[in-house]
Structure 1
Amino acid sequence: MKYLKFNHGLLILAMVLIIMPSCKPGEKTIIKDGKDRLTAYAKHLDMEKTSSFNELDWQFLGPNNTSGRMTDVAVSPEGDYILSASASGGVWKSTDSGESWAPIFEKEVSVSIGDIAIAPSDKNIIWIGTGESNIFRSSHAGCGIYKSNDGGVTFTHMGLENSNTISRIIIHPENPDIVYVGVSGNEWTPNKERGLYMTDDGGKTWTPTLQKDELTGVIDVDMDPSDSNIIYASTWQRVRKKWNDPRTEPGYTGCSIYKSVDGGKSWNEISEGLMVPEYRGRIGVDIAASNPNILYAYIDDYEVVREPTEEERNDSYGLPSCGFIRGAQLFRSENKGESWERVSPLDDPLLQRLCNTYGWV
């Protein structure tokens, strides 16, 4: 006698097909911008509340050896908790020095994280910028910026829903209502929301303080620890093509470093000593903790230094290689950016492999 084997998967599928309402062509919604995404997600949450499956208990079955890109780490000013942000898995919190982690940001419109920040003057204030700014092929768009006033228990959407990717969040050391947000923009297409935004009312309103064009966003921001009115920002002109990694194209001269001495109200370009604009790519800026006069700039140098050999003629996409660029270069300034000097080897084959989207935090 033969027995039928009970298939739980088929039973669940049948239940879904029975319960799921039929989709009518006229009911389809076209998502045009960030506000549409927020509206659609609110509808999703309402549907979730009435779903027949909302009380199902899920059991993790593995695998245990799989992870992905972590885009940022932040430590509370008192050192009692750590936050870790991921490229596509939300934000995690540890209160035992990293021994264990719990998700605190996993049920929002986007769980692709560009940057996180904790207010130096209030450990309960946390900002999360959605949308990974590294623009990998597997990067996902965000839907603006979120804020928590209770240490990550709850979050509120605070705008910038059309930013797509957020690269950096800087909070004033004494006034947590003053926040600077770098918006690197849409990975694949131009968008006017790129640039640096500032709020002085805790996120109720935002003002663009540094904007160039629809192709150029702000990829890094830093504040002088000895003077909060001095702010540095680097711009990145790029739109990723489906067939290539993001790199400069003819006419791209928008990658540079800017400085403000009045809290972001006005900006001046500080690029003396850097390579010519046509060769600049992504730029990371940092201030030496031991001396705020000393700055470092980590820059992709796109000057072609070697043509491909016959074996290297096609790149990983199967397209003709554009040649080998100089790659990652390190510059140093000892006068708060007034002038720069290259301090990395000029022609290091290893550095040619460190560029574009890789190795950035």
Structure 2
Amino acid sequence: MTIQCKNCGFVNPPNMRFCGNCGLRLLETGILPTPEPLAGKESTNQIGELVGADLLDRFRQAGLEAAGQRRQVTILFVDLSGYTHLSEQISDSEQMYELVQRCTKMFANDVYKYDGMVDKFTGDGLMALFGAPIAHENSAELAIRAALDMQADLEVLSAELKDRLGAEIKAHIGLHSGSVIVGGVGSNMMMNYTAIGDVVNQASRIETAAGPGMILVSDVVYRQVRSLFDFEALAPLQLKGISQPVRAHRVLGTKSKPGSVRGIEGLYAPMVGRDGELERLNQAVNAMNIEKLGRFAAVSGEAGIGKSRLISEFKSLLSQLPVQVLEGYSLIYRKGIS
């Protein structure tokens, strides 16, 4: 039975999956179910990056097309493990293409969820930036959370398709943090926002060293987030193109009782330059105790200006008063909270 394409009207021979004229999908006869679209509408911006529609304006406002800038970022590389063996299991090239497309879109969705940006797709994986063009003080944390979500999502997909594929689908992920040059590179005909530097190369090498289902991070990343996640230390890695052995750690998961990522363990220094703000908070608490009426205070400022330290000093003073302190936390990424 012939199949008429709903897009262009071309009449295709029986059993065609894609229109021979415009390429539109015709039949869902492959091993893969219809993939779910990424959250929100996808769009491709003028420099060729596929981004979630709600992030596109934020990327532009953050200087997506600006000249090269030096930024502290965390680089994430992810690829499917055992791609050659998987290709042998799935002899139909169209079905293999569908699988790779579904996996890479799923990875991209996890990147955008944590305000990261897909730098480029690498066949059966991708490279992502956290900390540029949208700056975050906790880019390493966001990158690891994205990596954990990638592995969790892939585990669900693998279980769903295991009987039809006859094999598990796994990925290996590598992360490294450091200073890079980011910005638009290329010509007027084709330009991409990307990161350039040794940090990118080392992140790629760490990913290559990771086994199936593993997330490996450099020692630089580990030191930033060791109070938030559980790790397993590995023997130093001898990576291609890097003369010195590289210390790496395997991510095991989030800590049941995460600690603080701020400050240096064992080191204490007095707070400087915030006496006025601290006094205003003290006055609000004293007035509350005397008048028995509630007070509201908001502390806001740029990243790294000292908000957390001010609140920490304030809490230490509250311990001397008959006041009950309740704390709540929210992860710093774009998903709305209602």
Q: TM-score, normalised by structure 2?
A: 0.26
- Between structure 1 and structure 2, the one with the greater Rg is 2
RCO (CA 8 Å, sep 6+): is it higher in 1 or 2? 2
